[in-house]
Amino acid sequence: MGIEKPLEPPKNGLLVPDLVPVAYEVLEHWKVLIKGLSQLLNVVTVYGCSKCSEVHVGPVGHRIQDCRGTGSEQRRNHHCWVRGSINDVLIPIESYHLFDPFGRRIKHETRFNYDRIPAVVELCIQAGVDLLEYPSRRRTTPIRMLGKKVIDRGGYVEEPKPYGAEDCMSLLAELDTYGAQTGRLPLPTDTRKLAERTLKAYSTVRRGVRQLMKKYTVKACGYCSEVHVGPWGHNVKLCGAFKHQWRDGKHGWQDATLDEVIPPNHVWHVRDPNGPPLTTALKRFCGKAPAVVEVCVQAGAEIPESYRPMMRLDIVLPDSEEAQLVA
């Protein structure tokens, strides 16, 4: 109708003051989570299948025949276990860092001009966290929109130069799982306290990200795992999912969910790590849990109440012979 509608923060480019402390809290616990997992992986063993995306936490890989990877028919659906890393526990979801989320959209030809950082970190930066290595534009006057078209964004501002390559690498070692993967952290002195602190950081990060996503827009592709933090999705043509030729490689953007930004990556729950491996016959009696929770529980942390029904701890595991007699 040609009528300008007043926008509320953060839709008008301004920050939400009440969510700035939440963003700082999420970023600090994100550092604790990555550092804690890097240390716990020296105590708890993680396996990943080299043929599919299955992950298992335990001393030995399970024997459940549910592999659908290459050559699974010859292996009778058994997994090919190899030693895993922190990226198998905490799946890295990256996003483009934008100096001005309401500025120029990222095109396919200019995609290399933008850094890729974890989506959680980019969400915290847009919510008010100031990092010298990744600056962000802070507006004092709101933008004006007519429908879906921006009619006044306050002009374009040139992005400042990077703070320094060495400083960026040191920061990524704390904020990115790839940086934690390259460095060898010492063995923890008290594994149980470290596991409880890591599990608390994981729950705090998920709770804080859920609270930030209620205000700040996060887009996810409906065909692949690409995530973009900002009011609009980018125009990079790198989607290779179902019928990407019809879309010229463009992503199908929609509102993201919490599990798309922080994938839980469910794994089978092992009640007794020193016991026999899980088998296909006892598959329906076993529960599942997020990989981060399973690592912390096997390291000595107490099982949270919210994950007990998912782990199916109230079900008694029968013997392999008794499983055939259960109705």
Q: What is the pLDDT of residues 276-290, one digit of tens each?
A: 899 988 888 899 999
Q: What is the pLDDT of residues 212-234, one digit of tens each?
A: 999 999 999 999 999 999 998 99
In angstroms, the CA 102 to CA 237 distance is 20
CB-CB contact of 278 with 64 (8 Å): yes
In angstroms, the CA 320 to CA 285 distance is 11
Statement: the pTM of the whole predicted model exceeds 0.95: no
Judged against a pLDDT cut of 70, whether residue 22 lies above it is answered with: yes
DSSP strands (E only) in the chain: 46-49, 55-57, 81-83, 94-96, 116-118, 144-146, 149-152, 218-221, 227-229, 253-255, 266-268, 288-290
Can you give the pLDDT at residue 172?
Answer: 67
Q: Count CA atoms closer than 13 A to 127's CA, side-chain side.
A: 28
Residue 318: pLDDT band by 50, 70, 90 thresholds? confident
Mean of the per-residue pLDDT values of the chain? 88
For the chain, the structural domain boundaries read: 17-325
Closest by CA position to 203, among listed 256, 265, 264: 264
Burial of residue 198 (number of CB atoms within 10 Å: 0-12, 13-18, 19+): buried
- For residue 70, CA distances in Å to 46, 88, 278, 306 come to 21, 19, 22, 36
* Helix (H) or strand (E) segment spanning residue 211: helix 191-213
Residue 231 in tokens = 């009011």
In angstroms, the CA 21 to CA 128 distance is 8
Can you give the pLDDT at residue 45?
Answer: 94
CB-CB contact of 134 with 125 (8 Å): yes
In angstroms, the CA 177 to CA 85 distance is 9
Residue 10 in tokens = 């953060």
Q: What is the pLDDT of residues 102-118, one digit of tens each?
A: 888 899 999 999 999 99
- For residue 174, CA distances in Å to 19, 41, 79, 92, 221 come to 22, 16, 32, 14, 27
Q: What is the pLDDT of residues 61-90, one digit of tens each?
A: 999 999 999 998 999 999 999 999 999 999
Can you give the pLDDT at residue 189?
Answer: 76
Query: Which one is predicted more confidently, 171 or 211?
Result: 211
Q: How many CB atoms lie within 10 A of CB 87?
A: 15
CB-CB contact of 25 with 274 (8 Å): no
Can you give the pLDDT at residue 158?
Answer: 74
The DSSP bridge partners found for residue 218 are 229
Can you give the pLDDT at residue 163?
Answer: 56
Residue 206 in tokens = 């998920």
- For residue 324, CA distances in Å to 222, 240, 272 come to 41, 44, 22
